[in-house]
Amino acid sequence: MIELGEVQARFADIVWANAPIPSGELVKLCERELNWKKPTTYTVLRKLCEKGLFTNTDGLVRAKITREQFYSAQSEQFVEESFSGSLPAFIAAFTARKRLTDAEADEIMRMIEAYRKEHES
């Protein structure tokens, strides 16, 4: 599992929102958004490239995985580690402390029905 600190996550969100992006433009964007100097941007970019999230080839930064793919994998890993892979156990723990709105419950039901239709035999 790829771990991101708060600063790396903020940077990754900027890249995902703008990729593909020339690295020089990313430097300017990070200067505006994060108040970073050029070396900081390149250091964090290099680390996230090493982690397999992005590539920086010929001055063009691209995402190797989407934001949705990254957070989906993170969520799956969390459920696996914290609830022995049981999604119902996770939902039970989550809803024990946070009440779902009717709209949220309806959306979850729609997701379940769509899953069932997609996986009918």
pLDDT band at 121 (very low <50, low <70, confident <90, very high): low
33-88: pLDDT as tens digits: 999 999 999 999 999 999 999 999 999 999 999 999 999 988 999 999 999 999 99
Considering the chain, what percentage of its residues have pLDDT values greater than 90? 83
pLDDT for residue 65? 95
Could you tell me the pTM of the whole model? 0.74
pLDDT reading at 2 higher than 90: no
Please report the pLDDT score of residue 3 as a whole number.
84
Pair 1, 74: CB distance under 8 Å: yes
Q: How far apart are CA 36 and CA 6, in angstroms?
A: 15
Q: pLDDT digit string (tens) for 86-105? A: 999 999 998 998 899 999 99
Q: Quote the pLDDT of residue 28.
A: 97
Reply yes or no on whether the pLDDT at 1 is more than 80.
no
- 85 alpha carbon, distance to own chain's centre: 20
Q: What is the mean pLDDT of the segment spanning 98-119?
A: 93
The answer to whether residues 60 and 25 touch, using CB atoms and an 8 Å cutoff, is no
3-state DSSP of 30-65: HHHHHCCCHHHHHHHHHHHHHCCCEEEECCEEEECC
Confidence of residue 120 (pLDDT cuts 50, 70, 90): confident
